Amino acid sequence: MIEIKSISKTYDDQKVVDNLSLSVPRSTVFGFLGPNGAGKTTTVKIVVGINKPDSGSVSINGQSPTSPVARKEIGFMPEEPHFYDQLTGLEFIEFANKLFGDGGSPGKDLKDILGRVGIYDARNKKIRTYSKGMKQRLGFAQALVNNPKYIFLDEPLDGLDPVGRLEIKTILQNLKEEGKTIFFNSHILSDVESICDNIGIIHRGKLIYSGSISQFRNGLSLEEKFVETIKSHTR
Amino acid sequence: MNTILVIAKNTFRQTIRDKILYGIFTFGLLFIGSTVILGSLALEDNIFIIRNLGLAGIYIFSLIITIFLASSLIYSEVENRTTYILLAKPVARSSIIIGKFLGLLLAIATTTLLMTLAYIIIVVTNGGGIDYSALAAVGIQMFEMALLIAIIILFSIFTTPLGSIIYTILIVYIGHSLSFMLLYAERSGNLARSVLYSIYYLFPNLEKFNIRNLVVHNISVSSQDTLIVTIYAITYTVFLIYLAQSLFNRKDL
């Protein structure tokens, strides 16, 4: 279970995350939504332990995300991931795997992961030759090298064409069926609607909704209800 | 320790594939090769000219490679958000700093070694024999490069690559002028003397790593002096790396 308790974060006198609390049950897919600059990425960075909150706490399976034990169970794909351009896709994925020491995957599994995200054929090409969509897939692949129980994805469907989006959504569905807990940020609401069990909506650093999609929609489309909710909190 | 070595190996691999490195390295080899022509212009003792310019060339081109490659080392990690990928894995921030430092040092040591090899071949083919003392000069020079990498890593945590380059060049200039500064301080008034003494003790004395002049004049360096220089370099570098990782630990990414 992912447990976020009253986290706040301020940058340059601006409160980016404001007393945010939420919990994500195991083996569910959670969509974290919000307009640009709402605090989604800051929240995810705190949840995976990259940055520390000014106050509050986060626990993943009962552990702090900064602990090595928790990090071995986490997979994280940042928004618009960048890599070491001089390396090939396979070299990068091997590098990411080795960072887990003995907790990583065997070499064969790494190639399977690259195949699963659809860049196996480009594995020996330098990353600098990859398209945005291929980099997105590589970012997804590196988040899976340790077979994580908790997967955090920041805008995972950004930059992908419709075929790529469908493929990644299928992988997300499969991961969900394998019992993984998936937390992802997105502004593509149709994708959220088709994948997620629950959603959270953040606006100006505050969580304004957390719960099931059907309860939130209340007869409207997710997009209509989302826009309506954001507008009502902007006034 | 394992993650440090993994990051170091990756940094080394990434660095030795960098086109900037090849460009500067090629110029370095051309310069060292050109010492043969310059030596032939000398009225006597062409080996002295080759050794003098060859060692200077190895130093200057190693310095350029160090400054250009190290200046963007940490900055690009943060700007390109590759640190996000690393830090969401069981990797401490200090491991990134130390791993990057070791990887780059190894890459610079490799290019310096190749330039030294070219230098030795040139000296031997011009009848100078194997210049063992040059190896000592280059070895001690590597301490300076290690110290400079640590300085640049420290700068790159809070400034841009251009800022890091400018500050480092200033430190190289000051670091090689400290002996003159000390002489000047002894002749100065109280206030100027205090300022100059502060600079003298605060900045790294990079002239300690310059034994090139002694080598070309066939003056030997005592093992005691070498030991002192080694301890000085290691202490200063470790302190800078510690400072860099402390700052990096506090930095919001």
Average pLDDT over residues A165-180: 87
pLDDT higher at B165 or B128: B165
Check A49 against B6: CB less than 8 A apart.
Answer: no
Q: What is the pLDDT of residues B88-102, one digit of tens each?
A: 999 999 999 999 999
Res. A103: pLDDT tops 70: no
Res. A107: pLDDT tops 80: no
* Burial class of residue B240, CB neighbours in 10 A (0-12, 13-18, 19+): buried
What is the model's pLDDT at position B61?
A: 95
Q: Residue ranges per domain, chain B?
A: 2-250
Q: Is A103 on the interface with B (CB under 8 A)?
A: yes
> DSSP character for B94?
H
Rounded Cα distance between B111 and B167, Å, is 24
Res. A201: pLDDT tops 80: yes
Q: What is the pLDDT of residues A29-70, one digit of tens each?
A: 999 999 888 899 999 999 999 999 999 999 998 899 988 888
Q: What is the pLDDT of residues B23-58, one digit of tens each?
A: 999 999 999 999 888 888 877 778 888 999 999 999
Task: Classify domain A2-73+149-232 at the CATH topology level.
Answer: Rossmann fold (3.40.50)
Q: Residue ranges per domain, chain A?
A: 2-73+149-232, 85-147
Average pLDDT over residues A181-199: 87
Q: What is the ipTM of this complex?
A: 0.87
Q: State the Cα torsion A136-A142-A144-A146 to the nearest 10°.
A: -170
Check B81 against A82: CB less than 8 A apart.
Answer: yes
Rounded Cα distance between B36 and B113, Å, is 19
User: How many Å lie between the alpha carbon of A221 and the closest alpha carbon of chain B?
Assistant: 34
Check A45 against B18: CB less than 8 A apart.
Answer: no
Work out the pLDDT band at B206, boundaries 50, 70, 90. very high
User: How many Å lie between the alpha carbon of B145 and the closest alpha carbon of chain A?
Assistant: 24
**Chain B residues within an 8 Å CB radius of A11:** 252
The helix-helix angle for B46-71 and B93-125 (nearest 10°) equals: 160
Work out the pLDDT band at A168, boundaries 50, 70, 90. confident
Res. B152: pLDDT tops 90: yes
Structure tokens at A207: 């969580």
Check A45 against B84: CB less than 8 A apart.
Answer: yes
3-state secondary structure of A202: strand
Residues across chain B: 253
What is the model's pLDDT at position A32?
A: 93
Average pLDDT over residues A76-95: 91
What is the model's pLDDT at position B40?
A: 81
Rounded Cα distance between A43 and A91, Å, is 30
Res. A169: pLDDT tops 80: yes
Q: Are strands A29-33 and A150-154 parallel, antiparallel or unpaired?
A: unpaired
What is the model's pLDDT at position B179?
A: 86
Rounded Cα distance between B201 and A139, Å, is 47
Nearest to A41 by CA among A228, A202, A208: A202
Structure tokens at B164: 């890091």
Question: How many C-beta atoms lie closer than 10 Å to residue B173's C-beta?
Answer: 10
Check A99 against B91: CB less than 8 A apart.
Answer: yes
B121: phi then psi, degrees, rounded to nearest 5 = -60, -45
3-state secondary structure of A119: coil
**Chain B residues within an 8 Å CB radius of A105:** none
Residues across chain A: 235
Nearest to A56 by CA among A9, A92, A116, A110: A9
